[in-house]
Chains A and B, each alone.
Chain A
């Protein structure tokens, strides 16, 4: 009887521990999966978005770059000012020393990722090294092992975050063939580019302002005859930078200027091709 009581008591104790483990948040951590990159469709906006996914996903940047103080909180600080100050810092002797502008920021960021100890922001060095050694792992080595295209995407994201021009190149065909690791789950959530001009313009809501598909809207010029006024390059400019060319009788600042971030390069081409072959264009030709 004593033995039975002891067994039951021990089982109850174990059951309590097991129950507690089961009522806590349950998260299964999967290893990173492969994300295929289509070099023909990745544009600057896509590259920035990819960089953002890497920043919070496979790059594990947010483990330290957060509000807990282990590393500079990149998402909260004024990056444009911070980057300029660091390059101008008297202790900085890296590759971007003496340079300025978006190119210098690209050099600085690439160096800080591939050789983090080249310059350590004051107060963020490894303990006992007097800020001579960074606790940050190289992103191009294990366990992160980011490829060059992934590093470029991260730089693009940070340049965009800083409000600077994105200077890193888009992935080449060779890069895409090499394949790059990424978070498959996030990739799966990202839809690929559309090949239907109607779908693209429907998604962007073009007909809300332009007379298109019989909408008879007149806030913006009639797109059915846009090709009569513009060549393909002009159309491209009018979409990506609407205030560059203002059609007569219409006002500036009405059209959104962020279509570069919303469109894949191939989608932009599909839209231009579609608009150029509308009836009005044919009439002109």
Chain B
């Protein structure tokens, strides 16, 4: 015991001795170099360069667009994963401290173990992206470096800090496991997440500056503002929120696949129980991040419209409009898979069977919502079919193609998904409070009134002018959020002193686990698709309205070409993830001692 204490103290001293001077040194150098640039406007306001076709080097006759696309998307996939995992790991670790349940701590540690190997690949693809950008788009990068000057140094410094924090957080897990040391470990985790989020926000500033530039002269592109003005462009915060939530959902989906694979691979009931619980938690994290995501998406799109109506229409009503039908298919797939997994989970408890009859109604709502969402406004028809139909819009189905119908469908699907969660939660609890019946009536009333309001707001959306249609979706969003929040509050009070029923972790079908593989595939494809849309709304501009893309690859590829590229990148990412999973298992395996060798 004494030895363990002294080792722990030595470890803490070593950590303090290494971290403190390293952090101070890195911070001092980076900020001393970069801060003047952040606060002051550029010295000489030169106009933005005007690229010519000759400014885009080609290697072996190939342009750089494909390379940049692949590296950028791979980097984003991996970065989203490695930034998200520490976020929910910190929460799970904290849960372990507050509930004193060691399973939480073990699961949090295992989640971190999975993401560690992915971190190196994130850095690798980030480096590849930087090389590809400077190699194939030197003029663009020269301009972006003028705009963000010192901030790039801060980014490099933050990356170093992130690496330090991540490695220390992971490798000190067992050394700082109990008592006050645990709080020290949690503090490192908090610092890790703070640095990680700041990194993401900085990178988001560069991406959104290219969509909605600020801090530069709108006519000439000359850098006239500070780095902060360029950073705080109109789309920065909407994208920050959107990516923050999406990362959590994405990270949850990836570790869920790991848990499902382990569930199917392990042989003992204890292990199956552990990985079933891990899979459920991962699915919970994925859906918890996913439920508010459409609302963050509304905000982002509303800001895009506010910044440039033309850009908004290009995305939603122009050449990219069909992509939102694919988005609907992907999100519908995610919602169906997540709900299917939850419905299967009702079999883990004895009371779950009493809720099973409601599943078919939830399924009807989700499938109907999915069908409404994928209904296009304009149909793909032959001239003969158009003649028979009397137009490109179907008489009955056409109205389902416009936003009010789709907003209604999405909100109802989200409400139904939350209901699936709530049913599973309730299947393991029997309320004992005297007002339990009233509480149940309250919750049912909440759902019924909410659904009526969502549908009514959807109908109102049809009769209001187009400019107010997006605004008409706000009451629907508020209603959905209200249902979730108030249902949680009521359930929270009803759960006080409730009898808990045994949850038979591990009592899940093999088929249910495949739902957890659908989630990461669909999420990855969806992220690739949304990245393509976000980039394409700039049309033929590197920096919208400031610097035109003069390269031969300035066109927006067809949906099919984009789909093929997204699939190839997704495949590459899945390959990396499988390798990462394998590495995490390799680290836990130990070769059997050769027979006849004397023990040390």
Interface residues of A (CB under 8 A from B): 2-3, 6, 9-10, 13-15, 17-18, 20-22, 24-32, 60, 63-64, 68-70, 123-124, 126-127, 135-137, 141-143
Contact = CB atoms under 8 A, between A and B. Distances in A.
Contacts of B514: 6, 9
Contacts of A63: 310, 313-314, 317-318
B567 A18 contact: yes
Contacts of B468: 127
A21 B326 contact: yes
Interface in B511-562: 514, 517-518, 521-522, 525, 539-541, 544-546, 548-549, 554-562
Contacts of A9: 514, 517
B59 interface: no
Interface in B282-340: 305-306, 308-310, 313-314, 317-319, 322, 325-326, 329-330, 333
16 contacts: A3-B261, A9-B517, A13-B333, A13-B522, A17-B330, A17-B522, A20-B329, A21-B562, A21-B564, A22-B559, A26-B560, A28-B556, A31-B548, A31-B555, A60-B310, A70-B467
A31 B549 contact: yes
Contacts of B306: 126-127
B521 A29 contact: no
> Which of A24, A30, A63, A135 has the most B CB atoms < 10 Å from its CB?
A24
A10 B521 contact: yes
Contact of B525 (A17, A28, A31, A124): A17
B560 A141 contact: no
B219 interface: yes
Contacts of A32: 540
Contacts of B9: none
Interface residues of B, number: 57
B587 interface: no
The 8 closest A-B pairs by CB, nearest first: A21-B563, A31-B540, A142-B545, A69-B466, A29-B556, A26-B558, A22-B560, A135-B309
Interface string B418-461: 00000000000000000000000000000000000000000000
B471 interface: yes
Given A17-B329, A123-B465, A30 B309 contact: no
A13 B265 contact: no
Nearest to A126: B306
Contacts of A20: 326, 329, 563
Most B-side CB within 10 Å, residue of A30, A60, A63, A143: A143
B156 interface: no
B451 to A, nearest CB: 27
B235 to A, nearest CB: 15
A124 B466 CA distance: 10
A63 B554 CA distance: 21
B318 A17 contact: no
B557 A28 contact: yes
B156 to A, nearest CB: 32
A136 B541 CA distance: 19
Residue from B517, B518, B549, B554 with most neighbouring chain A CB atoms (10 Å):
B517
A127 B464 CA distance: 14
A35 to B, nearest CB: 16
A70 B563 contact: no
Contact of B309 (A26, A27, A70): A70
B467 A17 contact: no
B364 interface: no
Nearest to B574: A10
Contact of B326 (A24, A64, A123, A137): A24
Given A28-B555, A63-B314, A136-B309, A17 B471 contact: no
B417 interface: no
A143 B555 contact: no
